[in-house]
Amino acid sequence: MNLTYKILSAHLTQGELSRGREIGIHIDYTLTQDSTGTMAYLQFEAIGIPRVKTEKSLAYIDHNTLQTGFENADDHKYLATVTKKHGVYLSKPGNGVCHQVELERFAVPGKTLLGSDSHTPTAGGLGMLAIGAGGLDVAVAMGGGAYYLPCPAVVNVRLSGKLRRGVAAKDVILEVLRRLTVKGGVGKVMEYTGEGVKTLSIPERATITNMGAELGATTSIFPADETARAFMAAQGRERDYVEALPDADAQYDETLEIDLSALEPMVALPHMPDNVKTVREAGAVKVDQVCIGSCTNSSYLDMMRVARILKGKTVNPDVSLVIAPGSRQVLGMLAANGALNDMIQAGARITETACGFCIGMGQSPRTGAVSLRTNNRNFFGRSGTKSAGIFLVSCETAAASALTGVLSDPRELDTDLEIPMPAQFAYNDNLIIPPASPEEAGAVEVVRGPNIKPFPQAKKLADSLSGKALLKMEDNITTDHIMPSDSKLLPFRSNIPKLSEYCLTPVDSTFPTRAKEAGGGFLIAGQNYGQGSSREHAALVPLYLQIRGILAKSFARIHRDNLINNGILPMTFENEADYDRFDQNDELELANVRKLIEGGVEKIPVRNITKGFTCDALLPLSDRQRAMLLAGGLINLMKEKA
Ligand code: MIC
Ligand code: SF4
């Protein structure tokens, strides 16, 4: 067995490990962050289980940390109190980015982790099977319920050789993205093997598993070997280490060979993480801003390399350099060893250890800017400046370019970039607040600010559905298009009515008004609809706007689950060419759709009344998903069952 199937089989609660078939797995650990967490805990409260049943559940506050009004601070208070009451550990703001802290302090090889954030697979760097999901799925897992997923195919990404100086783990995953594209990982787990694995440290492995999310993969995983043991020992957690390796004769569904020695610095050009070229090919693009940090690239190792490059130099006068170390542990160590001062003296603007610029929480670049960033997503508008172009690079490329003012190849630097892994990290968990004991939990009052509004709930599926195709979209529409998030909108993550005013506005600014006037309807989309974030808001807000179904060429994994969990039909064209026969404003009808779904029919006839034709849409569902859609979403189904 490969490592993925070993962990899946040890956690299997339902089904069998047969590719594409739905399986249920037991979840050992969960994580939430604040921007998806408020909704996840509101849902957990609605489910009505008093205390989490996992081995450990953590709630991080790292996304909505810019407090320009009361909203974010109110959400923090809600999270602090709801977690205390229900048995969840809280990582306070300032402690760091969820995935970085989880890797440092909590990830355990061989265990399962479900997180309400698409980059949860970061913990796969330590051999954990770590999956991103919508908040409701995480709420269910916190309550001890299984997590359901189609049994994935496993890709053997066989690494050979060793990265050359100036070439980074980020360049490995950018190369994988270049080859496979942003939908190349859908339905798959990327399992890294081969001699090259040994040459990569844990933070480097985590950079690779982190950005496997951009492939649309279910997750990515490295074996837990001697390097993992040493990392955990240096974090004072050696007792949690277990070796987790694939069998010597493990089987895989596909193989991808990567020679680390042959790679060179890469860059993803605007506005997709798979729009990858070598830095050499991209040329000396003039740069306005450089942002270093995020859950992809903010480890101690990354930051030390940046500090080495900046030491004794000054940032180019035309460049604004922003650095956000990934955790308090990292920031503290940089402060103690002087590297932070090297950054500050070179002219870096140090921001809090949080998601920050990565999710548009500040540091929006100027109009038309070129911004080099070390994070994982360069989707249109995500930086908060629509006209800006975000280029994704490694820390080494970012730091080198901050000095020269143009996109630069770090191999041209004469800096020594060998950073030894510390024998001991300066760990301290005093910002992890434990929950109240079961005896004391009853007395904890959950504090809800005025910005926390009830979330919408779907109704039972109607006999037939009809309405207009309100919007027709291209391929690769992201959840950042569906429910944009920046410093102005993130404070409203607990306020769906407010968010609805912005739904799909990056595609068409008139959409929310038209959807409201029409009393809802349908959406038409291309390939990989809903890629990117796990944010359930990209389903809850369309639900609020009464979107009944989406007809797409294909869907991204987490978003499809979120739609079903919330009673919205995710249908695909049986014949992709039918996409061209639909236009915005066409009147559509799904006659007797309830009966069809009840009867287990997977082909739904879609009548285009305006154009006078009918075509088939596919809606393959497990029994569980079918019951959910009929009941009007997971919460209604759970209530029905109760
Ligand atoms: C992201 O990177 O897009 C986010 C913000 O972390 C999201 C979660 C969210 O939308 O709150 C993710 O990756 O799931
Ligand atoms: Fe935060 Fe960015 Fe990572 Fe999302 S991708 S968790 S916003 S740092």
Give the tens place of pLDDT for each residue, 526-551. Answer: 999 999 999 999 999 999 999 999 99
Describe the chain by its helix, strand, coil percentages, rounded to 5. Answer: 35, 20, 45
Whose CA is closest to atom 7 on ligand 1? 533
The ligand 1 atom at the shortest distance from the C-alpha of residue 119 is: 13
Model pTM score: 0.98
Helix, strand or coil for residue 13?
strand
* Residues having CB within 6 Å of any atom of ligand 1: 35-36, 63, 117-119, 132, 359, 377, 485, 532-535
Ligand that comes closest to the CA of residue 382: 1
Residues 299 and 330: beta-carbon distance below 8 Å: yes
Per-residue pLDDT band at 642 (split at 50, 70, 90)? confident
Q: Is the pLDDT of residue 70 over 90?
A: yes
Average pLDDT over residues 607-611: 98
The ligand 1 atom at the shortest distance from the C-alpha of residue 377 is: 2
Q: Is the pLDDT of residue 634 over 90?
A: yes
Could you tell me whether strands 465-472 and 521-525 are parallel, antiparallel, or unpaired per DSSP bridges? parallel
Look at residue 321 in the predicted model and tell me its pLDDT.
98
Average pLDDT over residues 447-461: 93
Ligand that comes closest to the CA of residue 556: 1
Ligand 2 site, residue 101, Cβ cutoff 6 A: no
Share of the chain above pLDDT 70, in %: 100
The ligand 1 atom at the shortest distance from the C-alpha of residue 480 is: 3
Q: Is the pLDDT of residue 454 over 90?
A: no
Residue that the structure tokens 């081969």 belong to? 194
Ligand that comes closest to the CA of residue 376: 2
Look at residue 599 in the predicted model and tell me its pLDDT.
98
**Sign (positive or negative) of CA dihedral 282, 286, 288, 293:** positive
The tens digit of pLDDT for each residue in 172-193 reads 999 999 999 999 999 999 999 9
- How far is residue 133 from each of residues 115, 212, 508, measured CA to CA in Å? 6, 14, 27
Which amino acid would we find at residue 494?
A: S
Q: Is the pLDDT of residue 79 over 90?
A: yes
Per-residue pLDDT band at 397 (split at 50, 70, 90)? very high
Q: Is the pLDDT of residue 639 over 90?
A: no
Look at residue 271 in the predicted model and tell me its pLDDT.
98
Average pLDDT over residues 621-639: 96
Domains and CATH numbers, the chain: 266-412 (3.30.499.10), 465-641 (3.20.19.10)
- pLDDT mean across residues, the chain: 97
